[in-house]
Chains A and B, each alone.
Chain A
């Protein structure tokens, strides 16, 4: 799929692509992008970055250039056709790029090429030597290895004689190749073709398409490698992210179901819950869902899980989508769970944001990046239900999230708010197929009293208790009460100390059925 080769130019193809000498690549330093292209852009060749207005072409190109100068010791030239040098510098500054500083250090040369139709009169034959001379001069000034032409197509608006222009562009790209600079050419998306002026005709080594979609006022940016001659590449549309940390592309790795299996068992932090599973906990690297109505303690279970991880010396990343980290830390203190000390020790990190702030893709991209930075062993997503949208889209997001987590061998804990009505709706069934263990938390009404019951809906790969067990949240933590829930333990409220079986009230009531009724 990836290697598009025309038959005549590929005499050395052999059967094993791994044996074949890899096309030399120039890393862009753009997170994720170098991954999906197996190393970056084709070295010494021009690549085309195209897309509609506002899709991030210029930023992509700028990031490539600045990273080259700062990370790879490859100076670069920016030929900008649309923005003046100082405008470019201002825009770049918003991403934290110091173009002026890099220019002063002779790491980047910027030349603004103004093309003003109204000034130009054509009389007779011409060529674009003026542009060539400028590019050549700029390249020599900084000894450039990289060049960005943004947006070369502006020439089409300034020059009428497109026959000459096209011939000259062809010559330009051949010349750039000859000089061995790795060029990025940006171009506007055209109707029915990749670019408005057919730039893809000239730049055929690598074509990247950027695209931005808005759905329910949430913007998602996507990137696709349309073509990469002589190299394999990911063919999906990858979401990418532009924020104060620059651009990052989220590779939805071809993880599929080929996750590596991580051995071992992890505790949920609630020993009495672990006891319900015959292996004494959850499988490391599996995904665990706590679902239940409001006030059933989903966050408490999740926090216990997080604290247990930190206790073991593992790193835990907590994605909080509903409560602020401070709030979670404070609330957990009420059950005697000190999260702050784990935050202080650096083992527990919170990443809080409102789900509606970004599109799903963005969330995935951010989560991916956070995980890249922190390398957690355990990830908490609290709650999943904060994501709203069409079922298929949420399902898709979850699937990728789960894949993302599993491919890293991370133990994932999700919480999800469910109302009783939707307990068995399509949504939950969709989730069920993605997760390995599902712990159901329910408000139960037993003998006229509200109490809480926990039960394992499923736990892949292990036998587990089928009982509905009562659990209590006390000042000393969460505790699941052993044995089948029979309605004996009435004092399931946080303020009341743990109940003894010999409670006075129990006597007053007749014993109920061995399992609780659920309504």
Chain B
């Protein structure tokens, strides 16, 4: 429900005007499909838990901005692209497997999951 506007959404925790954040993530969703909504919830949760204050999350709805899908080489949906830090990574799916997401973000998986 949060991705009404196609415009980028800054998730909480972004340091205001404090230069570039350490992590730049862009989530590509397809409207408000359950999978997209779930992915957005999941990535928000993960970011808050592991990257609080160090990240910036942008959300792009490729139904609204289809040319973005081509520009960002999106095949699957939903997809989170880790733009910073390099190297670039794409995490596809509803992000329900947290450990895989963490691995792709170069973060240490937590043994006990996240809740």
Contacts and interface: CB of A to CB of B under 8 A. Distances in A.
Q: Interface residue tally of chain A, by bracket?
A: 20 to 34
B91 interface: yes
Given A130-B28, A134-B66, A122 B88 contact: no
B101 A128 contact: no
A136 B70 CA distance: 11
B70 A126 contact: no
A115 interface: yes
Interface of B: 28, 30, 35, 38-39, 42, 62-63, 66-67, 69-70, 73-79, 87-98, 100-101, 103-104
A123 B69 contact: no
Contact of A133 (B39, B63, B90, B101): B63
A114 interface: yes
Interface string A106-135: 000001011100011111111111110110
A138 B92 CA distance: 22
A125 B96 CA distance: 8
A110 B66 CA distance: 15
A335 interface: no
B75 A124 contact: no
A170 to B, nearest CB: 16
A121 B91 contact: yes
A114 B71 CA distance: 11
Given A119-B88, A121-B91, A125-B35, A130 B79 contact: yes
10 contacts: A120-B92, A121-B91, A121-B100, A123-B94, A124-B42, A126-B76, A128-B77, A130-B74, A130-B77, A133-B63
Contacts of A125: 35, 93-94, 96
Contacts of B38: 124
Contact of B77 (A123, A127, A155): A127
Contacts of A133: 30, 62-63, 66, 69, 74, 77
Given A115-B75, A122-B91, A136-B66, 14 more contacts: A113-B73, A119-B87, A119-B90, A120-B89, A120-B91, A120-B92, A123-B94, A125-B35, A126-B35, A130-B62, A130-B77, A133-B77, A134-B69, A137-B70
Contact of B75 (A121, A123, A130, A137): A130
Contacts of B30: 127, 129, 133
Given A119-B89, A121-B90, A129 B76 contact: yes
Contacts of A119: 87-90
Contacts of B93: 122-126
A113 B69 CA distance: 10
A230 interface: no
What 10 pairs between A and B have smallest CB-CB spacing? Answer: A124-B93, A130-B74, A124-B96, A129-B77, A124-B94, A121-B104, A137-B66, A123-B97, A123-B100, A126-B93
